[in-house]
Structure 1
Amino acid sequence: MMHTVTKPRIGGPGGAVAAWAATRAALLVFVFQVVRFPGQVVVHDVEDIYRGWYPVLRTGAFPAHDVAWQYPPGAAVPLLAPGGLPFLGYASAFFVLALLADAVVLGALLRDARHSGRMAGVWVWIGGTTLLGPIVYARYDVMVTAVAVPALLALRRRPALAGALAGFGGLLKLWPLLVLIGAPTSRTLRRSWAAAAATVAVLLGLSAALMRNSMSFLAFQQHRGTEVESLGAMVFHVARHLGWHGRVEMHYGSMEFLGPHVHLVSAAALGLSVLGVCWLAWWRLRARRFTAATPYDAAFTALLVFTTTSRVISPQYMVWLVGAGAVCAAARGTVLRLPLLLTLAAALFTTLEFPPFFSHVTAGDAWGLLLLGTRNALLVTASVMSCRRLWAATVPARTPGPTRPEPAEPDPRSTVLTP
């Protein structure tokens, strides 16, 4: 009697895990510098900056006099964590922990795919982070994403857990709090934000009690200028060719423009971010049609808006967008497939402009302007398109009066909207 052997589907979980393992082996080869990635050394932050902060943090204090320290107090957790693997050395232990955080995101998406039957999110995460290259493991943003993605996936069914995770993520790097913006009902919104606020309050209290200078990051964050990769920087990249007299220097931890009118462009970027907050708040008040995909579409849109309008668009910020975009892609009924594809294209151009051709970006020559201008144009287009599509999908053309949000469409992962 013959038995047929069922081979695992290439596009199924087995194929995804194999692809993840292969691409992650390549990333590790680069961060361990077995093979040098083109351009500048991408592991500088880990080997020099993070490792330099490590002994200070171990004494129970934050780096109060280092202008590069611009992170919330929760950042001490991933920066101290490599000390738990002393046999590897600081940088090696950090890369291993980054790999584990990557695996956490993959596991969360695979678990979600098992319930939904949709593998798109898994492949977006694998593909998007591969496009970003070794920067994924050379900064601690992947560890923050490993908290934010489970928070977003839990939002519809377990809002208190989602809020607690987002609150913890917010103390790592602020942006995970944005994943709560699309909570599908007022009750879910209240429960998630209450849990987030409680988590932030408790952890802030603990950090203040256990470590000195826990809020010192605020003093340095407010003095940041216009970083050379940001949207606002395009003004000065072009202006330099028209006679503007300014310069590019390391300033408050990143390469920034310094010179006449820089403060005006920085203020304009902050103004755009404030307008982004106002638009999101207005959308939340007007939204009436909530589907199973709406919480994820809203989170991705919010991250796009804040990343694009920021005074600083560091390459590692794209890890946030790939993580939120992966959750979006996994949702049945998402309206943001095209903005997500544009974001993945922006990830590729981000890797080209840093580190391989970063010298061209800082010089502002034609090649640098082409790469950076394309990346930023993709982000702007994706942001505007996401806002328009989210609004069109959730806000009725005419709203006669306050109504309750419509129930979410049935989703294979859950038969109820909220607990």
Structure 2
Amino acid sequence: MGENPDQIHHDGIVKTRLVESATQPMNIVCNAQPFGGGPGATLMAVMPYLRSRLESLGPVALHYVGSSLTMDFQKLTQADWDGSHHIDLYSNPETGKIELVSLLQRLKPRLVVTFMDELVAAAAQAADIPVVIIDLLLWFWPSISPHWRQADVVIAAEFYGVQERIISEKMNNVVTVPPLGPPPRTTTGPSKDVLLNFGGMVNPLMPKEEYVAYARLIYSAAKRALNLRNAALPKSQHAKLIVLVASLDVARGIDPQDPEAARMVLPDEALELMSSAELVCCTAGLGNLYAAGAVANAVLLLPPLHEGHAIQTHLIKKAGVSVDAMEWHEFTCGAPINYYNGSLEVMDDVSKAQKEVISSGQAQKALADRMLVAMLQSAGSAAGSSAEDAPLRSLITTFGQDNGDAMAARIVDVLTRVR
């Protein structure tokens, strides 16, 4: 009996589709909230470990969705994404949402991994796509978003108050991992220069002019303090000022007279510069705190730009960690800011304090003098310090640290359940 040509044709189509299905990569969409540098930097640290762990699952395509400084990170690191999509959910939320929904419909991702972006989590959950949320600030939120509770897993980085929050909120979908950070230095090396590390200051709720003005103010005070420091010390102890930023806007705007005043560098170079600096002056973002705890010789925390900086500093001090930190009321006529008020109220109070310092020559001198004290102290104590005595080292001994692989492992655990 001869074979049915129609059946042969049908079987051929089925086999072709099966082959295409087998070779079609599984799409995963990753995203980082554009508030500060932590989410974007953490994602870049996790990505290579995630790729490595995904190899056993067959072909996978990793797509990045983001905006603002999170896209700056992609350019800086030349990240090896299979697809990169600039979608802004903050400056124009309605347009951004339409673009994101369209992208999700086209890619049909098996999983969406977001570093704390509630808007991305909401869009994915509305499309019935499994969601993993990486949360570096679970202890911080005034209330827990329903999208966190609906997530397949929330991966929370440890910090003061995280375990207590999980218990009090009865969050059964949370797993914890050690915070991201570099290996601690075990030996001390020669130190030189003063490093000013602004980290990621960009915040969609804050006008660009605000954080650029902040950077200019601190930069000017640091230059003034450094000149006074060098004048007070022998030439052999003179230092340079090195300025690091994580935003192209800040890099371009920090000194209109010197376009090369600030640099954007890869994390490894930033750590090397931090470890060799005599003094690290930095914002109190968690990434900066853990990096400083691992490698810095001496640390001065800059005035808070928002409530997160201030509350993290307060929690560290409450736990008995000794850290030198500046507050706005040291340089203004006002009372200390209540950083436990709402975000917009706090940002308004910080803006008022910042403008007061910018408009007052006396306040600017007080800021520079405060930085000078820290510079002279670090210059005097550098020779007698040890790696074990490094400031903020107790953060690492308390919570441990990870290179990104622990987060990657948890993501793959979810993927193997839902694929």
Q: TM-score normalized by structure 2? A: 0.30
**Higher fraction of strand:** 2
Relative contact order, higher structure (CA 8 A, sep 6+): 1
Return the index of the structure with the highest Cα Rg: 2
**Higher fraction of helix:** 1
